[in-house]
């Protein structure tokens, strides 16, 4: 005798299993689509800073004590005053989103290309918000204001003797994410100016591309 109750139960179980598999596949597909949309959105907000072009106009930059410096296209400024050392870089944003600068760190040694970035805790916070628009130029500025500090004396000696300087910049997108540390070298030119070069970029909030 055919046990229709059992057959009916098995059929129902099979249908439920098939429905569960279909739902699982649909959820996985939706998750993949959501991740792809998120990556696309983040890529549209992602900044990347490099030195500006040599033919870009110079940046005239004012410090809080009413000191002015000029950073030429593709270059920077490094000037020593009695109470402060003034530093600046002319920048260009080649990324897809507005760059918001968070902090900076000056180094007098020239690290090899494969080194890791300095810890975020070692960066100095900017005294005002600086933004670099997409496909446009902007600048970074920083100052050392303690003449008795060892880094002040070392920086003053390096600038006076026209030694290369290394500046690490910490920045991200305008929502505060996708933070990047970029390493810039300031190389002295024969005309007392400084030329800027970028040598490395590190992602802090996502995987590096290399």
Do 20 and 112 lie in a common domain?
no
One domain for residues 106 and 21 = no
- Do 57 and 152 lie in one domain? The reply is yes
Can you read off the two tokens belonging to residue 168?
């690490």
Quote the number of domains for the chain.
2
What is the phi-psi region of residue 162: left when phi exceeds 0, alpha when psi lies from -120 to 50, beta otherwise? left
pTM: 0.80
Nearest C-alpha neighbor of 122 from the set 146, 151, 162, 147? 151
Query: What pLDDT score was predicted for residue 38?
Result: 47
- Best CA proximity match to 134, nearest among 48, 37, 39: 48
User: Looking at the domain assignment, is residue 68 inside a domain?
Assistant: yes
Verify that 69 and 154 share a domain, yes or no: yes
- Indicate whether 101 and 188 sit together in one domain: yes
pLDDT of 18 reads: 63
| pLDDT, tens digit, 9 for 90 and up, residues 30-78 | 555 545 544 544 555 899 999 999 999 999 999 999 999 999 999 999 9
Rounded CA-CA distance 128/101 in Å is 9
Residues with Cβ within 8 Å of 76's Cβ and at least 6 positions away in sequence, in order, are 87, 88, 89, 90, 167, 184, 186, 194, 195, 196
Q: Are residues 52 and 41 in the same domain?
A: no
- Which three-class secondary structure state does DSSP give residue 40? helix
The answer to the question of residue 208 being in a domain is: no
Q: φ, ψ for residue 198 (rounded to 5)?
A: -105, 135
**Residue 6 and residue 61 in one domain:** no
Domain assignment of residue 53, given as a range = 47-203
Q: Say whether both 22 and 53 belong to one domain.
A: no
């Amino acid at each position: 005798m055919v046990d229709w109750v059992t057959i009916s139960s098995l059929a129902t179980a099979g249908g439920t299993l098939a429905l569960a598999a279909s739902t699982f596949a649909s959820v996985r597909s939706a998750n993949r689509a959501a991740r792809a949309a998120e990556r696309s959105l983040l890529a549209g907000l992602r900044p990347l800073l490099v030195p500006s072009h040599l033919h870009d106009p110079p940046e005239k930059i004012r410090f809080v004590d009413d000191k002015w410096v000029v950073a030429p296209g593709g270059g920077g400024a490094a000037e020593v005053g009695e109470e402060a050392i003034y530093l600046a870089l002319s920048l260009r944003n080649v990324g897809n989103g507005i760059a918001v600068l968070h902090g900076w760190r000056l180094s007098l040694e020239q690290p090899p290309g494969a080194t890791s970035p300095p810890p975020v805790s070692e960066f100095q916070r900017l005294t005002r918000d600086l933004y670099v628009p997409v496909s446009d130029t902007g600048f970074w500025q920083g100052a050392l204001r303690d003449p008795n500090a060892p880094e002040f004396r070392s920086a003053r000696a390096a600038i006076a003797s026209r030694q290369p300087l290394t500046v690490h910049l910490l920045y991200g997108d305008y929502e505060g994410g996708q933070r990047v540390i970029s390493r810039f070298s300031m190389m002295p030119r024969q005309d007392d100016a400084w030329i800027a070069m970028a040598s490395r970029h590190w992602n802090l909030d996502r995987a590096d591309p290399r």
